Amino acid sequence: MSDGTSARHQATRLDAIEGRFDPWLMGAAIALASIGVIMVASSSIAIGEGLDVGPFYFLIRHLVFLAGGCALAFWMMRTELKTIEAKNQLLLLACFALLLAVFVPGVGRTVNGARRWLNLGVSNFQAVEAVKLLYIVWLASYLVRFRDEVNATWKAMLKPLGVAVALVGLLILQPDFGSLSLILAITAGMLVLGGVNMPRMFGPVLIGLPVLAAIAIAEPYRVRRFTSFMDPWADPFDSGYQLTNALMAVGRGEVFGVGLGASVQKLSYLPEAHTDFIMAVIAEELGLVGVCLVIGLYALLAGRAFWVGLKCVEMRRHFAGYCAFGVALWMSLQSFVSIGVNLGLLPTKGLTLPLISSGGSSVLMTCMAIGLLLRVSYELDRAERQVARLRGEALQPSSGNVPATTQPVATAATASVRGTSRLRQRVEPTLGRTA
């Protein structure tokens, strides 16, 4: 058999190897989504009855969007990452198109004084939820294509920061201070994990923080949120109303909670009990135990995502690794802010609790992001299996006529080197530009 035929047969055997989805990522996501279904059912009954839409209206709506999110996640799990990476420029254009579309009459819609929503007929869609995921994928692709330049030149480092500032400008017009802060934090985190020169980062950070503070205090309602956060009991029936009711719910829960379905604060006392303040209902009904369980699941999800990303980078699968880093930053930062708001540790922000809060846009795009994470884990496991196959073949004796005990050490070493060379061509494809 010729060397060319042997190589083709070997490539065929490698392509036949399948990967596995990470069970820890999948288990944490399923557990959080299950808790979300239970708590949306518990927290939204009184709200549905008060709005005369039926006690299970929000639960049914949540289940419908969760089913749609599972379909999107399944689609992402079946899509090769190289196909996604090839669309990087279209993804960036989609980010700006979505944020601009909310200002188009008849397409954009204003809810609670903010123009953040797209009118899809059957439902509204919050554009920034899709932008978070699209932007993470684009930034991951950028860091692959310009990995060396990002560390060596100002221009390559400032370009993604400029894109983030442009997106932030559109979010200010909506306005959506919570999401713009999240996008800036994700950008900084991904640049650091992508190997940016740290001393160069200090300049943009030192400039950006005062600007961000100025934006925060530019609107009187944001100032009231901050002052009420410092002392919510000073005005418990106006500016401190949300936080005081959330704190009362947390206090009533104590260690083991008052019992599932027994919350008092959700009975039209706590605003947005099924969305922004669902963690307060969890604290009241399930107590400290329930809060620790939820925090532990988010820590597992984010920690495992960071671990998967690190393993990908070690195998030179940089695009996959940066995607995992970005989604991990998104899930960890947003859950931290949402939990912090509910516990009175942070000023009030309109950020939902990923996979738990009711909300169509958030549920759909969070599930899609989890699907991307699982795809990353699948391709990582597949690559590791291919590595193991090649190493096993490289260590086999080259001739059956010579006993294994008499094979020269140099032969095994040479075969290992040849296997490593093939490995880098087949198993560790260069995604974009490498060093």
Backbone angles phi, psi at 125, to 5 degrees: -130, 125
Domain of residue 28 covers 10-395+408-426
pLDDT tens across 181-227, in order? 899 999 999 999 988 878 888 888 888 888 887 877 777 777 777 77
Length of the chain: 435
Residues 117 and 167: beta-carbon distance below 8 Å: no
Q: How many structural domains comprise the chain?
A: 1
pLDDT digits (tens, 9 = 90+) for 364-402: 999 999 999 999 999 999 999 888 888 877 776 544 444
SS3 98: helix
Phi, psi angles (nearest 5°) of residue 397 = -60, 140
Identify whether 431 is part of a domain.
no
Compute CA 152 distance to the chain's CA centroid, rounded to the nearest angstrom: 28
Contacts of 152 (CB under 8 A, 6+ apart): 197
Buried b (16+ CB within 10 A) or exposed e, 350-385: bbbbbbbbbbbbbbbbbbbbbbbbbbbbbbbbbbbb
User: What is d(CA 73, CA 376) in angstroms, rounded to the nearest whole number?
Assistant: 12
For the chain, what percentages of helix, strand and coil (3-state, to nearest 5) are there?
A: 70, 5, 25
- Candidates 161, 157, 249; CA nearest to 194 is 157
Is residue 4 in some structural domain?
no
d(CA 183, CA 189): 10
The verdict on residue 288 lying in a domain is yes
> Does 433 fall in a domain?
no
**Rounded Cα–Cα distance for residues 353 and 306 (Å):** 19
Q: Which two tokens stand for residue 287?
A: 């107590």
Q: Of the candidates 283, 214, 211, which has an alpha carbon nearest to the alpha carbon of residue 250?
A: 283
Which neighbouring-strand residues pair with 119?
124
Is residue 2 included in any domain, yes or no? no
Q: Dihedral sign, CA of 189, 33, 356, 364?
A: positive
Q: Is residue 328 part of a domain?
A: yes
Residue 432 lies in a domain: no
- Dmax of the chain from CA atoms? 89
Check: CB of residue 334 under 8 Å from CB of residue 302: no
CA distance 167 to 92: 10
DSSP string, 376-429: HHHHHHHHHHHHHHHHHHHTS-S-TTS-GGGS-HHHHHHHHHHHHHHHHHHTS-
> Computed over its alpha carbons, how large is the radius of gyration of the chain?
25
Given a contact cutoff of 8 angstroms between Cβ atoms, the answer to whether 182 and 111 are in contact is no
Contacts of 404 (CB under 8 A, 6+ apart): 397
Q: What pLDDT tens digit does each residue of the chain (435 aa) get?
A: 456 665 565 556 767 788 899 999 999 999 999 999 999 999 999 888 888 888 899 999 999 999 999 999 999 999 999 999 998 889 999 999 999 999 988 888 887 777 888 988 778 899 999 999 999 999 999 999 988 888 878 888 889 999 999 999 999 888 888 888 899 999 999 999 988 878 888 888 888 888 887 877 777 777 777 777 788 887 788 778 888 999 999 999 999 999 998 899 998 888 888 888 999 999 999 999 999 999 999 999 999 999 999 999 999 999 999 999 999 999 999 999 999 999 988 888 778 899 999 888 999 999 999 999 999 999 999 999 888 888 877 776 544 444 444 444 343 334 444 444 333 433 444 334 433
What is the Cα 377 distance to its own chain's centre? 14
SS3 call for 255: coil
**Does residue 317 lie within any of the structural domains?**
yes
Give yes or no for a cis peptide into 429 (omega within 30° of 0).
Answer: no
Please report the pLDDT score of residue 294 as a whole number.
Answer: 96
pTM of the model: 0.86
Report how far residue 423's alpha carbon sits from residue 384's, in angstroms, rounded to the nearest whole number: 10
pLDDT by residue (tens digit) across 86-105?
A: 988 899 999 999 999 999 88
Spatial CB neighbours of 35, under 8 Å, sequence gap ≥ 6:
282, 293, 294, 297, 356
Q: How far apart are CA 290 and CA 304, in angstroms?
A: 21
